[in-house]
């Protein structure tokens, strides 16, 4: 026998489907739908699945309202310290874990940042950057979602959308070597999501960026090779559409010109990260009739390949060929001969970019920042004649 919860009538009641597994009723008099309130305990029998503890459960256990529980949990000063203590204890006792999805929904912010990087296995560069990022993140109590674009433009677009869907509070991004259009990145602006470029940035977008001084890297490398007496200096350059490649190349050019060397286009080759043509690049240079006596390679990884290939051909390093790499890959210090390299502060880069981003998220910094980090030449055997 069901009574209307409003008019208390019995005859006017009809069944009206089910809601949340409970019978729903309709009162013709009052024109309202209702269900018979049950205690949460009773439900447990129906659905065996153990539900997560919510603030409502804590409230019920303590016989107080759930908004009081919420306030206590948020350390709202208006709440009685006694009550707060009771709530905190009960939360612990019941093993309460707040639902961050619900919180994000009402707060319009997720306390999470997104990270888009091209790769995690091709070198130790991005792992080190990530390490720096994570250090700041855990210090500032932010979470992260990491996306790998695998140097694919399509993946990068998908990653951007995913991060928007997840309503991240901000994004750190290092673009792929294929990224030319940037509409997908500009989407973040439409959604009021701040973003900071790490290491690789497009020229066309106005946004903060943290990069190493690639121009200076090119200068330092070539300057050093010239000092060592090299006269035909080649360059294995990075993907041509990435700024860092262009800048290192410009440093290479300018330094050669400064020292009145002639520029020989056959001494410049470009690496494609997606197809990975590093072997071809190396072969091209080593097969030249008029061989180079110094090579600045934009990455240690390929520098190491170059050393191995040269040794196989009986080319003596450094007496016949000096090699300078970049990145300070751990291997560089181990191979024979040890590879001269240019060191950029990878861990620092991750840290600085993350701090910058969080400042933007928290409104502490509005203006666009362009951080250029210093590089350092580490001279080793591969370039010491």
Count CA atoms within 13 Å of residue 54 on its CB side. Answer: 11
Q: Is 45 in the site for DNA (CB under 7 A)?
A: no
Kindly state the smallest distance separating residue 100's Cβ from its own copies, in Å.
5
Footprint on residues 264-293 left by its own copies (CB under 8 A): none
**Ranges of H-type helices in the chain:** 40-46, 55-62, 66-73, 81-93, 100-107, 125-139, 153-165, 183-190, 214-227, 243-258, 278-287, 300-312, 346-361
The residue among 158 and 379 lying less far from DNA, judged by its C-beta, is: 158
Stretch that binds its own copies, among 189-197, 216-224, 248-256, 281-289 (CB under 8 A): 189-197
Is 52 an interacting residue with respect to DNA (CB under 7 A)?
yes
Per DSSP, the three-state class of 324 is strand
> Residues 7, 64, 88, 315: which binds DNA (CB under 7 A)?
64
**Shortest Å, Cβ 106 to DNA:** 3
Single out the residue of 239, 166, 173 nearest to residue 207, CA to CA: 173
Quick note: the x/- pattern for its own copies over 96-135, rule CB under 8 A, is: -xxxxxx-xx----x---------xx--x--xx-xx--x-
N-terminal to C-terminal alpha carbon distance within the chain: 100
All residues at 6 or more sequence positions from 191 whose CB lies less than 8 Å from its CB, including other chains: 164
- Are the C-beta atoms of residues 9 and 29 closer than 8 Å to each other? yes
Dihedrals phi, psi of 213, to nearest 5 degrees: -75, 85
Least distance to its own copies, CB of residue 235, Å: 23
Options 53-61, 126-134, 298-306, 369-377: segment touching DNA (CB under 7 A): 53-61
For residue 375, the SS3 value is: coil
336 binds, among its own copies, DNA, none (CB under 5 to 8 A by kind): its own copies
- The reply on whether position 370 binds its own copies by CB under 8 A is no
What's the min distance (Å) between Cβ of 17 and DNA? 2
CB of 216 to its own copies, least distance (A): 25
Q: Which of 321, 335, 357, 358 binds its own copies (CB under 8 A)?
A: 335
Are residues 39 and 84 in contact, defined by beta-carbon separation less than 8 angstroms? no
What does DSSP say about strands 22-27 and 32-35: parallel, antiparallel, or unpaired? antiparallel
Distance CA 81, CA 96 (A): 19
Q: Which residues bind its own copies (CB under 8 A)?
A: 49-50, 52, 95, 97-102, 104-105, 110, 120-121, 124, 127-128, 130-131, 134, 138, 143-146, 148, 155, 161-162, 164-167, 187, 190-192, 304, 308, 330-331, 334-336
């Amino acid at each position: 026998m069901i009574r209307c919860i409003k008019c208390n009538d019995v005859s006017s009641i009809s069944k009206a489907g089910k809601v949340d597994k409970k019978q729903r009723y309709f009162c013709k008099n009052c024109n309202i739908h209702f269900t018979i309130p049950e205690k949460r305990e009773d439900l447990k029998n129906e659905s065996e699945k153990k539900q997560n503890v919510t603030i409502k459960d804590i409230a019920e256990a303590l016989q107080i309202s759930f908004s009081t529980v919420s306030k206590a949990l948020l350390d709202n000063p208006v709440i009685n310290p006694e009550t707060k203590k009771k709530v905190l204890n009960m939360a612990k006792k019941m093993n309460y874990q707040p639902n961050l999805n619900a919180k994000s929904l009402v707060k319009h912010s997720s306390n999470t940042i997104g990270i888009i990087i091209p790769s995690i296995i091709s070198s130790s560069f991005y792992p080190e950057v990530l390490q720096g990022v994570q250090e700041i993140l855990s210090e500032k109590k932010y979470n992260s979602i990491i996306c790998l674009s695998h140097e694919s433009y399509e993946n990068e677009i998908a990653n951007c959308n995913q991060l928007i869907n997840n309503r991240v509070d901000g994004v750190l991004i290092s673009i792929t070597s294929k990224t030319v259009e940037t509409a997908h990145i500009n989407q973040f602006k439409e959604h009021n999501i701040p973003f900071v470029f790490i290491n690789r940035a497009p020229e066309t977008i106005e946004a903060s960026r943290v990069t190493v001084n690639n121009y200076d890297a090119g200068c330092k490398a070539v300057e050093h090779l010239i000092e060592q007496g090299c006269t035909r200096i080649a360059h294995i350059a990075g993907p041509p559409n990435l700024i860092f490649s262009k800048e290192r190349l410009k440093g290479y050019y300018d330094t050669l010109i400064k020292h009145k060397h002639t520029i020989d286009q056959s001494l410049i080759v470009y690496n494609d990260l997606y197809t990975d043509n590093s072997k071809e690049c190396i072969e091209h240079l080593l097969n030249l009739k008029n061989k180079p006596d110094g090579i600045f390679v934009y990455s240690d990884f390929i520098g190491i390949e170059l050393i191995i290939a040269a040794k196989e051909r009986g080319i003596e390093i450094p007496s016949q060929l000096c090699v300078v790499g970049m990145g300070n890959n751990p291997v560089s210090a181990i191979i024979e001969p040890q590879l001269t390299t240019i060191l950029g502060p990878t861990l620092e880069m991750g840290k600085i970019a993350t701090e910058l981003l969080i400042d933007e998220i928290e409104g502490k910094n509005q203006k666009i920042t362009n951080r250029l980090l210093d590089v350092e030449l580490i001279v080793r055997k591969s370039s010491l004649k």
